[in-house]
């Protein structure tokens, strides 16, 4: 066994637990405090229909504003999980996203559904549907404006349990998206029986589909599968006009990526929605046939 510092530790039979890294412990404490003080914020990345460029949704993405800039989830979500804070933070995310939907509605913005990411651990929390129902009622937001994103790995961890949870959410009118499709260990039979309203193609495949025939085959197969299941498919991580055009020719329904919109703070997103023009301009510019 090796410690974080790389030193060999004598192990007599069972491995002793590695001594905790004090820097990590400090960060964990700081994260706990940050949840309590509600320091986390959500940025929103728009998704667009590929046929006419209209915005069809926005994904809520977690950000932690710190002295040295915005921290992205990759930097802290693992520690949140290890520290047993997943459910507490997840609840804050749901509360914030639904409150934001209410504010946008009050401001008279054309409503687009907001997608919230739910971690595998959160899927095991049976109070999730009640929390969602309570917040939607409290903020008077229609359930159809909320979408829950689950990853394929969560979906396949305990399919029976997850299916029950999703069906409870669905019965309320909440939509379900399957995130990062193709990266987990899914059984197609489980997918068939899962109530799902949208399938998301992982950026890894979108980013390499022009160079790798295999990635392109996976993108094509995912689109065909989604359409066979009668759900729209969104390609994530679209960064170039060429990718956009290829996805269009393959029959993809929706796109999300830096080419069209970066994740934005709520006010900037509202501005962008009021503006209306920019994304549809981009999509029609890339497709003369449509303009
Ligand atoms: P995800 O749900 O697959 O989210 C998409 C990620 O791709 C986001 O990274 C987004 O900023 C990034 N992205 C979007 N367009 C592009 C593009 O064109 N190019 C590239 N290279 N990247 C693009 P982000 O915000 O760093 O989030 C990473 C992951 O963290 C998310 O992956 C999601 O799994 C997780 N996450 C984010 N917010 C939450 C949350 O509130 N709760 C939970 N449990 N997980 C979250
Ligand atoms: Mg997501
Ligand atoms: Mg994804
Ligand atoms: Mg991801």
Q: Ligand 1: which of 73, 78, 88 to mutate, judged by most atoms within 8 Å of the beta carbon?
A: 73
Tens of pLDDT, residue by residue over 167-192, are: 999 999 999 999 998 887 667 777 88
73 vs 194, more confident? 73
Please tell me the predicted confidence (pLDDT) of residue 5. Answer: 44
The residue ranking higher by pLDDT, 232 or 275, is 232
Averaged pLDDT, 143-148 = 98
Contacts of 228 (CB under 8 A, 6+ apart): none
CA of 123 to the centre of ligand 1 (A): 18
Q: Which atom of ligand 1 is nearest to the CA of 259?
A: 18
User: Are 148 and 154 contacting, i.e. CB atoms less than 8 angstroms apart?
Assistant: no
User: Of the residues 236, 240, 257, which should be mutated to test ligand 1's pocket, given the most ligand atoms within 8 Å of the CB?
Assistant: 236
Residue 12 confidence (pLDDT): 45
- Is residue 158 very low, low, confident or very high in pLDDT (cuts 50, 70, 90)? confident
Ligand showing the shortest atom-to-Cα distance for residue 201: 3
Instruction: Verify whether ligand 1 is closer than 6 Å to residue 72 (CB atom).
Output: yes
Per-residue pLDDT tens for 9-51? 444 455 677 676 777 779 999 999 999 999 999 999 999 999 9
pLDDT in the model for residue 279 = 58
pLDDT digits 0-9 by tens, 55-99:
999 999 999 999 999 999 999 999 999 999 999 999 999 999 999
Give the pLDDT mean for 213-226: 96
Given a cut of 50, whether residue 8 has pLDDT beyond it is no
CB 212 within 8 A of CB 189: no
pLDDT of res. 281? 64
pLDDT tens across 92-145, in order? 999 999 999 999 999 998 789 999 999 988 988 989 999 999 999 999 999 999
């Amino acid at each position: 066994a090796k410690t974080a510092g790389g030193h060999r530790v004598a192990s007599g039979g069972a491995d002793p637990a590695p001594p905790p890294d004090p820097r990590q412990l400090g960060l964990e404490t700081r994260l706990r405090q940050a949840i309590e003080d509600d320091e986390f914020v959500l940025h929103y990345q728009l998704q667009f229909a590929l046929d006419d460029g209209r915005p069809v949704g926005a994904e809520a993405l977690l950000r932690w504003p710190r002295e040295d800039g915005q921290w992205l989830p990759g930097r802290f979500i693992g520690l949140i999980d290890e520290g047993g804070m997943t459910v507490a933070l997840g609840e804050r995310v749901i509360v914030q996203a639904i409150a934001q939907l209410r504010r946008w509605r009050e401001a008279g913005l054309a409503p687009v559904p907001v997608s919230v990411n739910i971690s595998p651990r959160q899927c095991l929390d049976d109070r999730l549907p009640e929390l969602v129902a309570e917040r939607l009622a409290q903020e008077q937001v229609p359930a159809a404006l909320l979408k829950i994103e689950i990853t394929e790995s969560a979906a396949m961890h305990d399919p029976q349990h997850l299916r029950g949870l999703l069906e409870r959410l669905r019965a309320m009118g909440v939509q379900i998206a399957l995130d990062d499709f193709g990266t987990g260990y899914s059984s197609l039979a489980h997918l068939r029986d899962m109530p799902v309203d949208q399938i998301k193609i992982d950026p890894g495949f979108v980013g390499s589909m022009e160079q790798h025939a295999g990635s392109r085959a996976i993108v094509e197969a995912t689109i065909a599968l989604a359409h066979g299941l009668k759900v729209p498919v969104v390609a994530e991580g679209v960064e170039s006009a060429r990718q956009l055009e290829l996805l269009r020719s393959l029959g993809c329904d929706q796109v999300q990526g830096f080419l069209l919109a970066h994740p934005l703070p709520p006010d900037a997103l509202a501005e962008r929605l009021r503006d209306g023009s920019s994304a549809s301009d981009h999509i029609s510019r890339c497709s003369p046939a449509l303009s």
